[in-house]
A and B are shown apart, each in its own frame.
Chain A
Amino acid sequence: GENVEQHPSTLSVQEGDSAVIKCTYSDSASNYFPWYKQELGKRPQLIIDIRSNVGEKKDQRIAVTLNKTAKHFSLHITETQPEDSAVYFCAPNQAGTALIFGKGTTLSVSS
């Protein structure tokens, strides 16, 4: 099965800095790469995803980049704000299979 690792497990940044979270996976058949955000006490929600035929996708301050050869993809958050503080999960998978989540990265943004 898919082996998913996220790094770092915790990340602390100052407001306005950038944050990068990396997700590595083992299954070369994976073709869908989402990132979920879970704020304290709330349910996880999809914030951005990318498919294997695309190398990068941006949505305002967040972006995801994919390196299929090296089997990793990253979440980039620019100009971080306190409301970006949350746990972020990656869940690489292939079509038709259940999402297997990484262990999560806790991002803390201090003002």
Chain B
Amino acid sequence: DVKVTQSSRYLVKRTGEKVFLECVQDMDHENMFWYRQDPGLGLRLIYFSYDVKMKEKGDIPEGYSVSREKKERFSLILESASTNQTSMYLCASSLVNRGPREQYFGPGTRLTVT
């Protein structure tokens, strides 16, 4: 059974703080993704990674960076948190096997920036 975990379910940070969101998967998946989810806007892709030390920008990368030092771990970094980054953040992972495969999501981190 695939397991994707995220470091926190709820997080409250102050404007200007550096924020780290951690995601770990235990199924040796090559692909990992970070999305943010806001009411009425669906799931928007922030960054993704196809391999260790590799990253690609998604649709809304501004204000975010990522790190993938190990295959199982994908971190999302908010360099200087702002109130418009208050959101639900979802991590996901998937296999690479002759095309797209099911993405497995973590439980999400609800981040509030005050």
Q: Which positions in A face B, CB cutoff 8 Å?
A: 1, 31-32, 34, 42-46, 49, 89, 93-104
Contact = CB atoms under 8 A, between A and B. Distances in A.
B43 A89 contact: yes
Contact of B48 (A31, A46, A98, A104): A98
A101 B105 contact: no
A98 B103 CA distance: 9
A44 B45 CA distance: 14
Size category of the binding interface on chain B = 20 to 34
B102 interface: yes
A96 B106 CA distance: 21
A89 B99 contact: no
Contacts of B59: 1, 100
A93 B102 CA distance: 12
Given A1-B59, A104-B42, A99 B103 contact: yes
Given A42-B107, A101-B45, 10 more contacts: A43-B108, A44-B90, A95-B100, A97-B100, A98-B45, A98-B56, A99-B33, A99-B100, A103-B41, A103-B42
25 contacts: A31-B99, A32-B99, A34-B100, A34-B102, A42-B107, A43-B90, A43-B107, A44-B43, A45-B105, A46-B102, A89-B43, A94-B100, A95-B98, A95-B100, A96-B99, A96-B100, A98-B33, A98-B56, A99-B33, A99-B45, A99-B100, A101-B44, A103-B40, A104-B42, A104-B43
